[in-house]
Amino acid sequence: MLKKFDVITIGGATQDIMYYTDEAEIIKNKANILKQKLMAFEYGAKIISNDVHITFGGGGMNTAISFANLSLKTATFLNLGRDWIGELILKEIKAKKVKTKYITQNKNTYSGFSFIINHGDQNEHVILGHRGANTELKLNKNQIAKLSTKWIYIASLSGKNNLIKENIKNIFKNKKRIKIAWNPGSTQLKYGYKFFQKYLPQVEVFNLNKDEAIELVLSTGFKTTNINKLLETIYSWGPRIVVITDGHRGAHIYNGEKKYFRKALPNTKNMNTTGAGDAFGSSFVAGLIMYKYDIEKSLKLATYQSNAVIKKIGAQVGLLNKNQIKKL
């Protein structure tokens, strides 16, 4: 039987206000190693900006739109507030041809949003965030059991620990032959290896950045920053493909037979790195679907897609569609 969807994403959605200003001061704070730099404004001042961008974010929404942009049949599990922000997010998702049947709305909770203050040539920034309805995403286990999709892509989840753990448990209870890609957020990574070990043998693609990989491996007591050891250790836990991204240096892939590496593209117009990780992870999985598991081609696609995103302001604005990818 043909699957209804190519991929269903699970995660969060936010409206992001990107606010650029030259009126901030960056203060070095030698007194606190955990807060070495502070961004400050004159107390009581009115700060005016002529460079403001209203965009969207959140791992569940970012990855869903990335997949749909590449002409894959896509749906997403999100939880929004029944408010004007939620309605804007829904309108955007529908416009990108992502199916909304698994999106819920809570009337007593605000939708997630963030106000991001950017300053200077390097776009040093502070994020004032409210996760809102994202923290109340609750997956219906009966709904999960009936999913008709080739892939599930788990992005960062937020909320109370017991709810996050219950949601993940329900995803992995699904006995259908659905491939799972997982890009865990900071909350899940704090659970450490003992939490992940029971799920990783069911994971097709496990995607982390280098710092996250170091942290997760360290939770077993093994301290290393060597990329090959990180790849091999995480692969030994059960996932079929391990992806470790390393910022502007590039990305590493290991499938148990061969290690792959691709440098990041040179970029002189680096506007904003928001959403680059979601673009990379979702595009790599999209490549596996589109190019019949050609890892090198999928890695190339992910590299081009994430590079396109950081040239634009916002996590979704720079995403390339299938025709643009073909030209590249």
pLDDT score, position 253? 98
- Find all residues with CB under 8 Å of 26, minimum gap 6, and list them: 37, 38, 39, 40, 119, 120, 124
* Domains assigned to the chain: 5-327 (3.40.1190.20)
| 268 or 80, which is more confident | 80
101 CB burial (10 A radius; 0-12, 13-18, 19+): exposed
Predicted TM-score (pTM) of this structure: 0.91
Number of C-beta neighbours around residue 266 at 10 A: 7
Phi, psi of 35 (to 5 degrees): -135, 65
- The pLDDT tens digits of the residues spanning 155-194 come to 999 889 999 999 999 999 876 789 999 999 988 999 999 9
Distance between CA atoms of residues 14 and 2, nearest Å: 32
pLDDT score, position 176? 77
Residue 242 reports pLDDT greater than 80: yes
Of the candidate ranges 136-145, 213-222, 280-289, the one whose mean pLDDT is the lowest: 136-145
Largest CA distance in the chain: 64
- Across-strand partners of 20? 51, 118
Task: State the alpha helices, DSSP H only, in the chain.
Answer: 59-69, 84-95, 141-145, 161-173, 186-189, 193-196, 210-218, 227-235, 276-290, 295-310, 322-327
- Across-strand partners of 152? 8, 180
pLDDT score, position 32? 85
Distance between CA atoms of residues 315 and 328, nearest Å: 21
pLDDT mean over 221-232: 96
Distance between CA atoms of residues 198 and 73, nearest Å: 30
pLDDT score, position 320? 85
pLDDT score, position 1? 56
pLDDT score, position 122? 62
pLDDT score, position 119? 86
> What share of the chain has pLDDT > 70, as a percent?
97
CA atoms within 13 A on the CB side of 156: 21
- The pLDDT tens digits of the residues spanning 88-125 come to 999 999 999 999 999 999 999 999 999 989 887 766 77
- The pLDDT tens digits of the residues spanning 135-162 come to 999 998 888 989 999 999 999 998 899 9
Residue 268 reports pLDDT greater than 70: no
- The pLDDT tens digits of the residues spanning 34-71 come to 788 899 999 999 999 999 999 999 999 999 999 999 99
* Sign of the C-alpha dihedral computed for residues 219, 222, 227 and 232 taken in this order: negative
Provide the token pair at 63: 């990855």
What is the bridge-based pairing of β-strands 25-28 and 205-209? unpaired
pLDDT mean over 210-232: 96
Phi, psi of 265 (to 5 degrees): -75, 145
Distance between CA atoms of residues 158 and 170, nearest Å: 16
| 120 or 220, which is more confident | 220
pLDDT score, position 123? 67
